[in-house]
Structure 1
């Protein structure tokens, strides 16, 4: 069987300009044609070189064609000396590293506005809890690795006393119908219309991930991802939520796009770092122009990953509802780690929300606390200063490593017993003490959301860390 042995001088010999076109062509050829002969691959590349305009938008040759048509040397971009306008909510409770990360992002040439939510803390690229609006550019690491990670709450008309009186039943449902981590999957994954999407056949990297995505459908990641039963309390009737005041049984899940999203993030972050190299402190903020092949391809891939994450949640909730023998009265779903096209100050911009959620006028959401504190069902107020955003949770008070060092198993058991919470799985890094006080976080974003109700966890399942 033939094996590609392509070198840069082979491309120079057929007329390739000595610029980024060579490295991109070699990278893609070795990825997609590694079992072909040099002769066949070079013959294809000659066609691209002769008529690059015909290959714009092509799944494999599109990037090479684009660089050939715009044969410019890639140079390191400089940051602006001043920051784009921004607002920080709950500034006193946010560590300096998170603010510095936001300040760096605000100096990108493409940045137009930013905000930091009260759950903010340091991350990679953009800080967790941040919002950044850019012009005609998307930052893969500004979206994050777990693309489209989200909260999903199903509300059932079931007496909440059942959670204690029939605890074994609900514990069994979580054990038997949820899957977590890298290796757990359902023995019979469900089919879903998401797999009919054209991106699975037109974008090479997505095509190679389809089987893995199918196997992982309806499963949750590790870390802070969970599925839990709890008590929903609705304070009063709201026309948007549409439920009368009262107590209900709720199922709340938190997870994202699994291996599909992680692979997309890695691939396009690498491409962005090659195309828009930045100073060291900003290197993970490299962007892709939306008028480029890679920018358009990433946009499609990101949206697919977000929809896949939603499909995973719906599959989780479908399985649980079937096991319960009940249908939900309502479902509330909101996501973070995503980018949206939105109008900001009269201009269409790309709004990245890294660990922050949409809170436009009357947009519903759920903001969780910890396994021993309530989450809040909210309705957005469309605050311009926050770019119509709110926090995605309480936010971490301790890093994972610090939590493991400072919190003991006996302390965790005591806190859970005090709050009447049954825990299945999870490590010390997810202990309630590792998170900020959700009541303080909510008090710092009264301008951003209105509270409609609460979700109090009672039976929690997470990946065994």
Structure 2
């Protein structure tokens, strides 16, 4: 510490020596300290005066011992591929449970690995105390599904109308073809530190009415119980969500280095009781509003293009963070299965399986073994590249014809994406059996497929960009 006989200014080093945690409060504290210094006060008196504003340095949180926090398994292995998958899921969940904030975990019947060991798997649930983990909702924040009852509409007319409405693939809509975004929502973005940046604000406008790529779809089918036509969409928060994830991970990394440097970077967290945590939580809710509006825009535009009447409509997210009691439940590809998980919850949720199987309409059972969640879909036993390797000499078109006979399957980009065909996913009947055997949800209805639109075999944006540059 600086010698008392020297009248040098109070610095940030003084504050840290006195136990203050660095942060945006430092300038205010330094101003107050140096005003006292100018009046002739000594360091001891200044230190005592600043104790009322003390934000103490945090205690470093150590990783938990392997196996200290157990997780529930709601999954069976019925053949070698599934056994290998379950082994890998157990390995990554065991590592994940060592995260100091995690109190409980669970895996669903559709669980599969989604990154380096220790990363929350698809079909994974992690309950954290006073912590929001951006890596546990991933870049596809609030990936979700919405259904609209279209009454006696001709499913072909609906599917024919949809391509003129929706937008698949990378990027957003060009000027003149954009959907309107609520000005109230845009204003709310501007008031949030995580969303008030040019890229988020631009993408919130450009990406409204888009569905992206991968396993996102627009599905048309008929209710098995009523015979009525329905449309189901599946997609996430697109560019705005990806940018929020990036900023959230950067903030979580700052806390990780300070709070728990031994925690893997993908499991970094933002303490929920900090100003940053409250702002990030608010940003998540705004992204949720944006994605719900995105689904609604696509459904309503399709309805208007097909000139049909609209019945009931509901939705649910399956890639999000939910607060229940004093815990933050991170569902990575897991569907909330308790009635009041959100203010707009209807008691019913959707579980798509694959393009040749029904979309399940279910009522959650709030199972203890699932931490109150059910699956979000069928999941995979092996990677997309492994599926393509196993195809051998069979072409994507041949496989599509063999696996979806009688269905109207369309790929927006033209090329068949073989990694989205039914054989790339777990057997749907096995997932349904496990939903029942673990009492995760009660199936209320099946939306049998007529057809769907998928993104298609879209080259990665960086390949397209390289060709353009050449």
Same fold (TM over 0.5): yes
Q: Which residue of structure 2 aligns with residue 98 of structure 1?
A: 89
Q: Distance in 1 between matches of 2:366 and 2:13?
A: 50
Pair 437,50 (structure 1): closer, same or farther in 2 beyond 3 Å: farther
**RMSD (Å), alpha carbons:** 2.9
Match of 1:356 among 313, 317, 334: 334
Unaligned runs of 5+ in 2: 1-8, 34-52, 340-345, 458-470
Paired residues for 1:370-389 under 5 Å: 370-389=354-373
Paired residues for 1:69-80 under 5 Å: 70=55, 72=57, 77-80=62-65
1:457 corresponds to 2:449? yes
- 1:81 deviates by 4.3
Structure 2 length-normalised TM: 0.78
Q: Distance in 2 between matches of 1:188 and 1:273?
A: 35
Q: Which residue of structure 1 aligns with residue 150 of structure 2?
A: 156
Larger radius of gyration: 2
Q: Which residue of structure 2 aligns with residue 237 of structure 1?
A: none
- 1:22 deviates by 11
Pair 72,262 (structure 1): closer, same or farther in 2 beyond 3 Å: same
- 1:116 deviates by 0.5
- 1:367 deviates by 0.4
Question: Secondary structure of the equivalent of 2:228?
Answer: strand
- 1:85 deviates by 3.8
Pair 203,440 (structure 1): closer, same or farther in 2 beyond 3 Å: same
Pair 255,331 (structure 1): closer, same or farther in 2 beyond 3 Å: same
Q: Distance in 1 between matches of 2:418 and 2:350?
A: 24
Q: Is the 8 A contact 2:172 2:203 kept in 1?
A: no
Q: Distance in 1 between matches of 2:30 and 2:449?
A: 60
Pair 442,326 (structure 1): closer, same or farther in 2 beyond 3 Å: same
Q: Which residue of structure 2 aligns with residue 38 of structure 1?
A: none
Question: Alignment length, in residue pairs?
Answer: 400
Q: Is the 8 A contact 1:178 1:316 kept in 2?
A: yes
Q: Is the 8 A contact 1:80 1:108 kept in 2?
A: no
Pair 280,71 (structure 1): closer, same or farther in 2 beyond 3 Å: closer
Paired residues for 1:144-223 under 5 Å: 144-158=138-152, 162-163=154-155, 167=156, 169-185=157-173, 187-192=177-182, 195-203=185-193, 205-208=195-198, 209-223=200-214
Structure 1 length-normalised TM: 0.78
Q: Distance in 2 between matches of 1:394 and 1:227?
A: 17
Question: Secondary structure of the equivalent of 1:219?
Answer: coil
Q: Distance in 2 between matches of 1:73 and 1:290?
A: 14
Pair 435,262 (structure 1): closer, same or farther in 2 beyond 3 Å: same
Match of 1:50 among 23, 27, 31: 31
Q: Distance in 2 between matches of 1:300 and 1:155?
A: 31
- 1:452 deviates by 1.0
Q: Which residue of structure 2 aligns with residue 128 of structure 1?
A: 122
- 1:226 deviates by 0.9
Q: Distance in 2 between matches of 1:111 and 1:287?
A: 11
Q: Which residue of structure 1 aligns with residue 462 of structure 2?
A: none
